[in-house]
Amino acid sequence: MKYLTLVFLFSSISLYAKSELKLQISDSRIKPWLNFNDGYARSTFNTAVHGQALYFDTSLHIRPGYIKSWEWDYEKKKYTFEIDTSRKYSNGESISAYDFEYVLVKPFISTADTALDRVPLGFIKGVSKLKPGMSFKTGMVDGIRVTNNKSLEVYLASGHSRFLYSLGSRLPALGPISEFKSDHYTFKSIPIGSGPYRVSWSDPNSSTVHLKKVYGDGPSKVILFSEKYGFENDVDVAFGGGISKMYDFLTKNPGKYRRIQSKLPFAIQFLEFNHRAGVAADINFRKAVTYAIDKYSTLTASGSRTPIDQVIPNFSYGYKEKSNQYNLNRAKEIVANLPKAVREREHILLCHGAPGSDPGKYYRFIRDSLVEAGLKVKIELTEDMNTNNLSEKYPLVLYGKYVESYPLTTFAHYLPGNSHVTMPTNEQYEKVFAEAEAVEDLEKKVQLIHRLSEILRENYVVLPLYQRKFIYYKKNHIEAIGSKNEPAWNFNISEVKIHESKRKI
C-alpha cells in the first residue's frame, strides 16, 4: 500500500513538475509592472512577483496575504496591521512595515499617472497634503504610524468600511524602498518582490518577461508576452478581448484553444463626459448623448458584453435594474435645440487603441449613434488613456474601469476631486455618500446606494454602457487556470496547473 502511494505521488509530480507556462497578458509595448492602461496585466504581474496584501473571493471574504492580521479600532478610527516579516524578497531581505507604509504613500507622491491608485487610498488621514514629486520619508503622513518593523497603524478620516477592499490585487507593488527610482513606481533594475515568482530575465528590446518560481504551486517557469505585434500564437493561455490579431488566428485555427468566460464581470465600460470641455458641462448635450445610444442593440450587446445601467455590476449589492434611456427622437430634438456652434463643431470621441488602427465595430457603433442623432463626431485612438488631466478638446471618453470589490469605492470616483474625468460639485451626492459610508445597517446602505445611482442618472454624469466578463483562451494541456478566486481580475499564476502528458510538441 505504501509502495502504491509513493508511485502515485511520483507520477503526479511528473505530470506537473518543472512545467513551463507561456502566458500572453496584453499586446502593449509597456512592461507589465508599468502598464497603467492595462490594470489586469499589472495586477497579474504584481500578484506573481510581489504578492498581495489581502485576497478576496466572490463573497467578499478577506484572506491574509503579506498582511498577516488586521484589527479595527472604531473609537480611534484606526486599523492596526501586522506584516508577515517571515516573507523575504528575492534579494534575501525581509519585508517590513516600512515597505508597506511606502506602498500606501507612493500613489500620492509619484509623478506617474496614479489617479486610480489614489482614490481607494484617499481615506487615509493626511494624504491630501502630499504632492507629486515629493521624496518619501517614514512618518510623512499623519495617518500612518509604523510602530515597529512588523506592524503599523493607519488612521482613516472616513471610509473604514471599504478601506480593506482597496488592499487587493491593484495595490501598488511591495518592494524594497531603495530599489525604486524617484517616481516611486519604476524599479532601478528588474522588479524585486516577495511573491511566489521572481523575474529571471527581462528583454531589453520588448515587454517580454521571464519568471521563475520561488515557492508554492504553479508552473516552475513563466514567460509573459505582451507583444506590440499582436497575438503570440504559441502561448498556453491568453487573456482575450483586445489582443490584436487574436480573433483572426482563432478563426483560422478552430479547436487549438478553448474559450473560457469568467463567472463574474471584471470591468464596466462607460461613456464619460469631460467637464473641462464646455460643451460637456451642458446637461442638454449630455442628455442628447445618453438618449442617442441604444446599448441593448445586438450590434454590441452580445457574448461577454452585456448592457448595464449603473456604475456598479449587477452582482453587487445595491444594484437595481433601470430602464433603457435610449430615445433617438428625443436625442434629435435636443440636438436641434443646441447652440449652432455645438451642432457644427466636430466633437472628438477618445477611445483606447493604437493610433491609425481600425477602431472596430464597437467604437464605430457609438460614433454612428451620435451622428444619427445629429452630432458631428470623430473617433481618436490613443494608447495613453491618462484622463486625470484630460484636455478640453476631448468632451467624450469611452473608458473601461475595473469592477471594485466594494460598491462605495466605485461611487467614490465621482466625488469632487476624485474622478479621473472631472465631475461638477454636487452637494446632494456628497451628503448621501457620507450617509452611506457611515451607516452600518446593510438594508439602509443599499437604499442609499440606490439613491447615489439615481443622482448620477438624474444629472447625466456618466453613461454606463456594458459590463464585461473576462475571456481566457487556453490549450488542452492547461487543466486549471488561475481564476479560482473570483472576482475575475484576480488571476493567480500559482493556481495554474499544466498536464504535461497532454502537451502537444
pLDDT category at 80 given cuts 50, 70, 90 is very high
Give pLDDT tens digits for 15-47.
444 589 998 887 667 788 776 656 678 888 888
Cβ–Cβ under 8 Å, residues 219 and 21:
yes
pLDDT at site 324: 79
- Sorted by sequence, the CB contacts under 8 Å of residue 236 that are 6+ apart come out as 21, 22, 23, 474, 475, 477, 478, 498
- Look at 427 and 329; give whichever has higher pLDDT: 329
Helix 442-458 × helix 427-438 angle, to 10°: 160
- Look at 38 and 306; give whichever has higher pLDDT: 306
Cβ–Cβ under 8 Å, residues 195 and 49:
yes
pLDDT at site 38: 65
CA distance 20 to 219: 6
pLDDT category at 299 given cuts 50, 70, 90 is low
At the top level of CATH, which class does the domain 265-468 belong to? alpha beta
How large is the average pLDDT for residues 376-383? 91
Cβ–Cβ under 8 Å, residues 158 and 437:
yes
Task: Say what the pTM is.
Answer: 0.76
Name the DSSP letter for residue 377.
E
Is residue 61 predicted with pLDDT exceeding 90? Answer: no
Is residue 388 predicted with pLDDT exceeding 80? Answer: no
Is residue 503 predicted with pLDDT exceeding 50? Answer: yes
How large is the average pLDDT for residues 178-192? 93
Q: Which fold has domain 52-179?
A: Dipeptide-binding Protein; domain 1 (3.90.76)
* Low-confidence winner among 104-113, 156-165, 333-342 (lowest mean pLDDT): 156-165
CA distance 448 to 434: 10
Q: Locate cell 460639485: which residue? A: 425
Give 454-460 contacts, CB < 8 A, sequence gap 24+: 455/426, 455/428, 455/429, 456/310, 456/311, 456/414, 456/429, 457/309, 457/310, 457/322, 459/283, 459/426, 460/273, 460/283, 460/286, 460/287, 460/290
Pure H helices in 271-359: 283-292, 328-336, 340-344
pLDDT at site 274: 87
Is residue 422 predicted with pLDDT exceeding 60? Answer: no
- Look at 11 and 419; give whichever has higher pLDDT: 419
State the DSSP H helix or E strand holding residue 213, giving kind and residue range, or none if neither. strand 209-213
The residue ranges of every structural domain in the chain are: 17-50+195-257+475-505, 52-179, 265-468
- Sorted by sequence, the CB contacts under 8 Å of residue 188 that are 6+ apart come out as 179, 180, 181
Strands (E), 308-410: 346-352, 376-382, 396-402
Cβ–Cβ under 8 Å, residues 47 and 263:
no
How large is the average pLDDT for residues 70-79? 92
Give pLDDT tens digits for 221-236.
999 887 665 677 788 9
pLDDT category at 452 given cuts 50, 70, 90 is very high
Quote the percentage of the chain above a pLDDT of 90. 42
Is residue 143 predicted with pLDDT exceeding 90? Answer: yes
State the cell numbers at 152: 503599523
pLDDT at site 241: 57
Is residue 300 predicted with pLDDT exceeding 90? Answer: no
Cβ–Cβ under 8 Å, residues 21 and 221:
yes
Q: Which fold has domain 17-50+195-257+475-505?
A: D-Maltodextrin-Binding Protein; domain 2 (3.40.190)
pLDDT at site 85: 96
